[in-house]
Structure 1
Amino acid sequence: MATARQEVRPWPALWALVVGFFMILVDSTIVSVATPAILNDFGTDVGNVIWVTSAYLLAYAVPLLVTGRLGDRIGPKKMYLTGLTVFTLASLWCGLTSSIAMLIVARVVQGLGASMVTPQTMAVITRIFPPDQRGKAMSLWGATAGVAVLVGPILGGVLVDGLGWQWIFFVNVPVGVIGFVLAMRLVPDLPTHEHKFDLLGVALSTIGLFLLVFGIQEGQKYDWGQITGPISVWSLIIAGLVLLGAFAFWQSRNRNEPLLPLALFRDRNFSLANLSITTVGFAVTAMAFPLMLYAQAVRGLSPTKAALLLAPMAIISGALAPFVGRLVDTTPPRFIAGFGLACEVGALYWLSQIISPDLPIWQLLLPMALMGVANGFMWAPLGSTATRNLPMHQAGAGAGVYNTTRQVGAVLGSAGIAVLMESRLAHYLPAMGGGAPGGEGSAAGGKLPEALHQGFSDAMADSLMLPAAVLLIGLVAALLFATPVRRQPAAAAASGDREGLRG
């Protein structure tokens, strides 16, 4: 057993995996800072450009339940390498596109690649680290997630200013190649488990989620009325909800192997962690759009300077990761995650109250710093709490569920913030018709006329209240976590050796 332990080397394997995981999460938010540039280049509107993010998030979220199972069946390493290859090639395609429609299609393929990669990172942690060490491992995973979604806009700003928006995608190519080589050399081949696939569940969840997101995001564009013929915005939303309800019912009745193993939700902490991470995915994705548009359209900041507003978040979150990792293994998770979520709610509310045309930039950095504290404390305890009690043969399925709920939150956050921004712009600036920089009735791709600054600032400030409100649900869920039963290190390690380090 000692020999197997030396061969596997969990920490190098984890570091290799987080390279690809980091790149994929960066792409969830990197487009937000490039929104004005893409608006200007393609001459489109804010709704279409937000589809560049929503299409990626939707294609990322929907297959996660399947790709987690595929990782269990054919091996997480093979699945990870396949997904990384698809993602890297699709990134090249994104940078080479010449129309907004083709960019959206390329982002769908990119999202499919991302969906193959993400569950494998979490499943490998669950299988190669014993439970008493997973807190430290999950802190690295959580710090990667927290920092990546914040680094995305910063990196995007630098690339857009220096090389053009296409380079937010081209930069993935060398990173993808490096990640592939590292994973090939350092990630172990783990035992596989046979799984059947619920094709009806795949169809119901895919179509239902697409209809729901499309209806929400396009609602303002069609004034919440008819899209074409008998098809209305509300009919799409209702049909999506009905199909998702049918999906849940089918999962409860499927006696073979359901796509969504509802038995996992019998664990209280798994259920609550999934609810909480959904709200985190919603908020982190949603907050970047109004902030970046305000910074560039009202304050006239370049993409790089606008993105640097998020620097305090990334720096503080990364610095706190080792400290929080030690806490996760010794402190009840409700205290750690609850503190982080409370800080995030407070920071978003604070930001919504101070945004104005003439606000000194340094005052914006204060709530950003508080968001850094929040992100440092949110990600690791939520991930480790969700996975602590997962049975080894369902590590991939559990990781798929957890990452699905996070990504569904991100998809709904992208769609929801688009609706609210357009609605508030129509309220404060009716002459813009709910547009944004680059859209009809505005200064294309640049700073707005001064007469529009106050109304635009008020619209973006109001929009930030949505992610703050949604996060309150996640905060309540985290405060209801049960204190996990501590297992003896020796017994835990033996358990990890038997399953994760075998062979």
Structure 2
Amino acid sequence: MQDGLPLPRRYAAIAAMSFGSALVIIDGGVANVALPTIAHDLHVAPSSVVSIVTIYQVMLVMLMLPFSGLGERIGLKRTYQGGQLIFTVATLLCFFAKSLPFLLIVRAVQAIGAAAVLSVASALIRQIYPANHLGRGLAINSVVVTSSAAAAPTIGGLVLAVAPWPWVFASAIPFALLSLALGRSIPDPKPGHAHFDLAGAVACAAMFGLVVGGLESAVHGDSPVVSAAIVLVGVAIGYFFVRNQLGEPNPILPVDLLTRPVIALSAAGSFIAFTASMTLLISTPFRLQALGFSAATIGAVIAPWPMTNMIVAPLAGYLSDRIPAGLLGGVGMAVSVTALSLIAFIPAHPTYFDMAWRMALCGAGFGLYLPPNARLIIGSAPQERAAVAGGLVSTVRLCGQTTGATLVAALLAFGIGSGQVPPLISATLAVIAGVCSVARLRPSIRNPSLTETRNEIPTLRQTRY
């Protein structure tokens, strides 16, 4: 079997995947800038219009793993391009939105398409690159995602300056057209499974939707009793869902992969790291605003994080093909803990430079940790489970980001979200993520020979723990 795509087809496939990732990331984040304008035009309260963002995030968390399982059943390329088409059609429907309920439906459909795209993207990247280049391939994709997320607010602001808000959503359509035009170059591996666990997919979506939705409801001031009841129903569904998945040969929730200590530690570390980073990124504007920084200056202070990440992530991906991910992750979290501690104890009257270099250092630490971590999860999974492994990476990222946002909302509600507490919590979480990373260096975890099967041995040998 050929290892990766031949040149120059590989370059065309990389471009197609990059445009596809940029499509869903930009259109997912660009809405934030337009929220005040949408609230004014649709005559709704600002607190209500935030649901445009919330429904998108919740739907992504609910559908990522089910779509990765579906991709294994119907084909990775078909799932990827089908998601792009759904996303593009839903984006065009934004031009017909004259009410908030209709716009929420459109955003939910957009999230369905985005979930299909993101759920199989990592598995397709594994097909595109040779095994010894997988780390740099995932790093390139990480740079595309990071730069798209960083560019989304700027794109949204520029579009709003010259056009009505529906055009904000349409700004990503060119990326869809370019990706679809280059789509012939994307690999189309034969589906590996004949069975799709529909009941498991529904239970998985219900579990994540109810738990995340209940937590979001609680921090936004809804009835604590109702919010707790929603979460408990989600937990109950999750309990029976996980028990059922333990007996499935190809489970929607990859419990078969999570039984591997190296993947379980990697997933746990990724969740904790994303929670830590999101806690800092969301709380920092509130802290800087209290210190007298303007909105423009706050944006400039945060900008060094993604800019540094764009430089460090490809380097980390390149190194992860040669250096154990456990070591890279440990170093990355050591840098992040140092930076987060420095952010917690900034001077009483910090300047722009005081904050900017600390944010750059923090971005470098997380950039050194996350791409090798993702490479380890995807590279350690058997080839036929690559889609679910990629879905696991994306789901863990989204859950971590959502948990961080929910944590900041709770800290703000208690009056301690705009001071030293959030960066100190982030530093503590970074320590735990670092421990998870370094633990993978233990021989008993690096060499799980007792649990390997003959088909899995080549995959595991290609992965540096």
**Shorter-chain TM-score: which interval?**
0.7 to 0.9
Instruction: State the distance in 2 between where 1:290 and 1:166 align.
Output: 29
2:379 corresponds in structure 1 to 388
- The structural deviation recorded for 1:349 is 4.5
The corresponding residue for 2:18 is: 18
**Equivalent residues in 2 for 1:212-231 (5 A)?**
212-222=211-221, 225-226=224-225
Secondary structure of the residue aligned to 1:366 is helix
Pick from 242, 247, 257: which aligns with 1:253? 247
Report the Cα offset of residue 26 of structure 1: 3.8
Q: Does 1:271 align with 2:264?
A: yes
Cα distance change, pair 161–314 in 1 and its aligned pair in 2 (3 A): farther
1:329 partner letter:
D
- Kept in 1: contact 2:35–2:46 (CA 8 A): no
Aligned mates of 2:347, 2:160 — CA distance in 1: 24
Distance 2:313 2:4 in 1: 29
The partner residue of 1:233 within 208, 223, 227 is 227
Higher relative contact order (CA 8 A, sep 6+): 1
**Does the CA contact (< 8 Å) of 1:140 and 1:380 recur in 2?**
no
Please name the residue that 2:451 is paired with. none
Q: Does 1:362 align with 2:353?
A: yes
Q: Quote the Cα distance in structure 2 between the aligned partners of 1:276 and 1:54.
A: 25
| Identical counterparts, % of pairs | 23
CA contact (8 A) 1:153 1:307 kept: no
Task: Note closer, same or farther for the CA distance 1:173–1:292 as it changes in structure 2 (3 Å cut).
Answer: farther
TM-score (norm 1): 0.77
Shift of 1:82: 1.0
* Contact in 2 for aligned 1:277/1:406 (Cα 8 Å): yes
- Within 5 A, what are the aligned runs for 1:62-141? 62-94=62-94, 97-141=97-141
Q: Paired residue for 1:448? A: none
The answer as to whether partners of 2:4 and 2:127 remain within 8 angstroms in 1 is no
Aligned equivalents of 2:223 and 2:424: distance in 1?
22
Deviation (angstroms), 1:191: 2.0
Task: Report the 3-state secondary structure (helix = DSSP H, G, I; strand = E; otherwise coil) of the residue aligned with 1:190.
Answer: coil
Q: Which residue of 2 aligns with 1:452?
A: none
Distance change >3 Å, CA 4–CA 214, structure 1 → 2? closer
Deviation at 1:156, TM superposition (A): 4.3
One-letter amino acid matched to 2:58 = L
Output one character per residue of 1:309-344: Cα deviation in whole Å (capped at 9) or x when no partner.
333222222222343233111111112122223434
* Equivalent position amino acid for 1:190 in 2: P
Q: Which residue is 2:282 aligned to?
A: 289
| Letter aligned with residue 232 of structure 2 | I
Measure, in 2, the Cα distance between the counterparts of 1:359 and 1:306: 12
Paired residues of 2:73 and 2:196 also in contact (CA < 8 A): no
Supply the distance in 2 between the matched residues of 1:270 and 1:319 (Cα, whole angstroms): 26
1:181 corresponds to 2:181: yes
Q: Structure 1 residues 344 and 83 mapped into 2: Cα distance closer, same or farther (>3 Å)?
A: farther
* Deviates further, 216-225 or 333-342: 216-225
Greater CA deviation, 86-95 or 205-214? 86-95
Q: Residue 324 of structure 2 is aligned with which of 303, 310, 332?
A: 332
> Counterpart in 1 of 2:440?
481
Contact 1:261–1:397 (8 Å) recurs in 2: yes
Give the CA deviation at 1:378.
2.3
Letter in 1 for 2:244: W
Greater mean alpha carbon deviation, residues 289-298 or residues 466-475: 289-298
Amino acid at match of 1:399: G
CA–CA separation in structure 2 for the residues paired with 1:176 and 1:363: 40
Gaps of 5+ in 1: 227-231, 429-457, 486-491, 497-503
Give the counterpart letter for 1:267 in structure 2. Answer: R
Q: Where does residue 169 of structure 2 map in the other structure?
A: 169
Residue 308 of structure 2: aligned partner: 316
Q: What letter is aligned with 1:14?
A: I
Is contact 1:340-1:377 (8 Å) kept? yes
Residue equivalent to 2:402: 411
Deviation sequence 1:252-288 (CA, Å, 0-9, x none) = 134x542223221232222122112223343444444
Counterparts of 2:65 and 2:2 in 1: how far apart (Å)?
Answer: 34
Alpha-carbon distance, 1:52 to partner: 2.8
Code of the aligned partner of 1:477: C
What is the CA deviation profile of residues 210-240 of structure 1, one whole-angstrom value per residue up to 9, with x for unaligned ones?
A: 22222212214446534xxxxx222222222
Aligned equivalents of 2:344, 2:160: Cα separation in 1: 26
Q: Give, as a single letter, the amino acid of the residue that structure 2 aligns with 1:188.
A: P
Question: What is the rounded CA distance, in whole Å, between the counterparts of 2:319 and 2:382 in structure 1?
Answer: 24
CA contact (8 A) 1:122 1:399 kept: yes
Instruction: Give 5+ residue unaligned stretches, structure 2.
Output: 448-454, 460-465
State the distance in 1 between where 2:294 and 2:162 align. Answer: 14
Give the residue type in structure 2 aligned to 1:214.
Answer: G
* 1:398 counterpart residue number: 389
Pairwise CA distance, 1:115 = 0.9
C-alpha separation between the residues in 2 aligned to 1:471 and 1:342? Answer: 8
Instruction: Report the counterpart of residue 463 of structure 2 in structure 1.
Output: none
Shift of 1:385: 0.8
Indicate how the Cα distance of structure 1 residues 335 and 28 shifts in structure 2: closer, same or farther if over 3 A, else same. Answer: farther
Pick closer, same or farther for the CA change 1:28–1:480 going to 2, 3 Å: farther
Q: What is the aligned-residue RMSD (CA, Å)?
A: 3.4
Asked whether the equivalents of residues 142 and 371 of structure 2 are also in contact (C-alpha less than 8 Å), the reply is: yes
Instruction: Find the aligned partners of 1:297 and 1:109 in 2 and give their Cα distance.
Output: 38
SS at match of 1:417: helix
Q: CA deviation at 1:386?
A: 0.7
Counterpart residue number, 1:44 = 45
Rounded Cα–Cα distance in structure 1 between residues aligned with 2:3 and 2:374: 29
- Corresponding residue of 1:144: 144
**Cα offset, 1:347, TM superposition:** 3.6
Residues 1:11 and 1:336: Cα distance change in structure 2 (over 3 Å): farther
* Cα shift at 1:22: 2.9
Give the distance between the partners of 1:252 and 1:144, measured in 2 at CA: 35
Aligned residue for 1:262? 255
What SS does the aligned partner of 2:418 have?
A: helix
Q: Secondary structure at the match of 1:135?
A: helix
Change (3 A) 1:119 1:132: same
The CA distance in 1 between the partners of 2:240 and 2:331, in whole Å, is: 36
- The one-letter code of the counterpart of 1:56 is Y
